[in-house]
Amino acid sequence: MKKVIHWKFTLILLIVGFMTAVQYNSMKSPEQRDTRDIWTIRQELSNEKQFHSELLSEIRELDNTIKTYKSLSDENTGKALMETVDKLHRQAGMTDVEGPGIIIEVRPSAESIALGAPITDISPDLLTRFVNEVNRYKGFTLEIDGKRFTTLSSIRDINGITTVNGLNVSKPPFSMKIISSSLKESEKMYNYLAASPIHDDFYLDNLLLDIRKPEASIEIRGFPERFDNQFLEEMPKGE
Amino acid sequence: MTMWLPLLGLMLGISLGLLSDIQIPQIYNNYLSIAVLAALDTLFGGIRAYLQQVYDDKVFVSGFFFNIVLAAVLAFLGVHLGVDLYLAAVFAFGVRLFQNIAVIRRILLTKWTERSKHSNTNAPE
């Protein structure tokens, strides 16, 4: 009898302890006070709205692709697939691109030439900073000293030499090209870069950023290397 | 030895609750707090009954669950009627909790004084 009482007490105490602990847990985390003012919230709202519209346009694009697949008869399916592959290649930066854009030349500054300072490579940090600055704008194509800069590209220091995609960036002067979706966008980017504080960063490294006026048509070469496909495998035929 | 078993259960329950990191939503906080109160009330009632040797298994276990459910129902009703009925439960359980603990304290005190008297009378022999 006594043992039974103890077991029941134990069980009930276990439940009581559990409930108390859960209650403690729930009370312990106080609600985070929302201290944002109306403008911060508006800002966040607009960010979310932008995200929303981006997602919507993506969905629309994919819907279009599905429609193309559906409307095509069997013999044309291959063609549709090829089109998709082409589009993906374009997106990945493997094809040559031509369009309105600006050419930027990086030169050693006049002072450093006058003082006879040795011309050094542009540092990877500075180049990354520049790319980040340009990255404020969407939908552009960038080439650094003849090397196509894609989302997969890397800017690194290899044995003291700055490289893009593993290829050496030549000592200044060299040029960079940025193609935008329209001439208007190019002008916007030109204006932005002309007033950007990135010039000071370049000047600290004895370099000048010479931004030329937007041109109606410039050309950027594609990313010449093939991509490694590590995870996707072709299915054996007939299975 | 068996005295420690309930305590072990309590420890196990607490650590289980803390480690599982369960959090119940804010709106159900009232229910849980009142359920905890009801559980504590029943528990101390059980201990008192045990010490007074009127403990009944069925009364204890049924009381435990019934009180919890009743308290939750009262709180629920209170929320929907716009009357803070859960305060009634808090009051009732609170008063009973104090009474029960007072009774337990007295019983333990008497037991303790009796025991020390015994040991005093036993000492000179």
Contacts of B7 in chain A (CB under 8 A): 13
- How many Å apart are CA A130 and CA A108, to the nearest integer? 16
Q: Do A17 and B5 touch (CB under 8 A)?
A: no
Whether the predicted pLDDT of A226 surpasses 70: no
Nearest-by-Cβ selection for A22 from B24, B40, B46: B24
Q: Tell me how close the Cα of B17 comes to any Cα of chain A, in angstroms.
A: 5
Bridge partners, A142 (sequence order): A149, A178
Rounded percentage of chain B residues whose pLDDT exceeds 90: 13
Question: Looking at beta carbons, which residues of chain A come within 8 Å of B42?
Answer: 12
| CA-closest candidate to residue A205, choices A104, A129, A133 | A129
Place of tokens 């519209």: A53
Locus of tokens 């159900």: B28
The two tokens of residue A109 are 């500054």
Q: Reply yes or no on whether the pLDDT at A82 is more than 90.
A: no
A25–B33: do the CB atoms touch at under 8 Å?
Answer: no
Q: With CB atoms and an 8 Å threshold, state whether A14 touches B13.
A: yes
Q: Which residues of B touch A26 (CB under 8 A)?
A: 23-24, 26, 29, 32
> Are residues A20 and B13, on separate chains, in Cβ contact within 8 Å?
yes
Query: Between B10, B29, B33, which is nearest A16 by CB?
Result: B10
Total CB pairs under 8 A between chain A and B = 104
Q: In this structure, are residues A131 and A198 in contact, taking their beta carbons and an 8 Å threshold?
A: no
Distance from CA of A42 to the nearest CA of B (A): 27
Nearest to A11 among B9, B17, B55 (CB): B9
Chain B residues close to A6, C-beta within 8 Å: 2, 5-6
List CB contacts (< 8 A) between B10 and chain A. Answer: 13-14, 16-17
The answer to whether A180 touches A99, Cβ cutoff 8 Å, is yes
CATH number, domain A97-220, options 3.40.1190.20, 1.20.1250.20, 3.40.605.10, 3.30.70.1880: 3.30.70.1880
Q: How many CA atoms lie less than 13 Å away from A223 in the CB half-sphere?
A: 22
Determine whether the interchain pair A9/B12 forms a contact, defined as Cβ–Cβ distance below 8 Å.
no
Task: Answer yes or no: is pLDDT of A28 > 80.
Answer: no
Question: Does the ipTM surpass 0.90?
Answer: no
Of A107, A128, A111, the closest CA to residue A170 belongs to A107
Q: Does A32 touch chain B (CB under 8 A)?
A: no
| Residue A147, Cβ density class (10 Å: 0-12 exposed, 13-18 middle, ≥19 buried) | buried
Q: Tell how strand A141-144 and strand A147-149 pair up.
A: antiparallel
pLDDT reported for residue B103: 92
Phi, psi dihedral angles at A116 (to 5 degrees): 75, 25
Domain boundaries, chain A: 97-220
Q: How many CA atoms lie within 13 A of A98 on its CB side?
A: 1
Q: Is there a contact between A180 and A140 (Cβ–Cβ < 8 Å)?
A: yes
Could you report the per-residue pLDDT of A93-126, keeping only the tens digit for each?
778 888 888 999 988 888 888 888 888 888 888 8
- Cα separation, B29 vs B120, in Å, equals 52
- Decide: helix, strand or coil at residue A96: coil
- Tell me whether A55 touches chain B (CB under 8 Å): no
Of A4, A5, A19, the CB nearest to B32: A19
Question: Look-up: residue for tokens 């019983």?
Answer: B107
Q: Does A30 touch chain B (CB under 8 A)?
A: no
The mean pLDDT of A133-143, rounded to a whole number, is 82
Does A55 score more than 90 pLDDT? yes
Are the beta carbons of A12 and B12 separated by less than 8 Å? no
Chain B residue at shortest CA distance from A6: B6
**Separation in Å, CA A117 to CA A105, A127, B110, B115:** 19, 20, 98, 99
pLDDT at B1: 47
Q: Which long-range contacts (CB under 8 A, 24 or more apart) does B49-56 make?
A: B50/A5, B51/B103, B51/B104, B51/B107, B51/B108, B52/B103, B52/B107, B55/A5
pLDDT in tens, B36-72: 888 888 888 888 888 888 888 888 888 888 888 888 8
Q: In angstroms, rounded to a whole number, what is the distance separating the alpha carbons of residues A70 and B42?
A: 69
β-strands A97-108, A215-220 pairing: antiparallel
pLDDT above 50 for A182: yes
Q: How far off is chain A from B62, nearest CA to CA, in Å?
A: 11
**What is the Cα–Cα distance from B57 to A8, expressed in whole angstroms?**
8
Across residues A199-214, what is the average pLDDT? 87
Task: State the pTM of this model.
Answer: 0.46
Please tell me the predicted confidence (pLDDT) of residue A238. Answer: 61
Alpha-carbon distance of B103 to A16, in angstroms, equals 21
Nearest to A10 among B6, B17, B57 (CB): B6
How high is the pLDDT of residue A116? 81
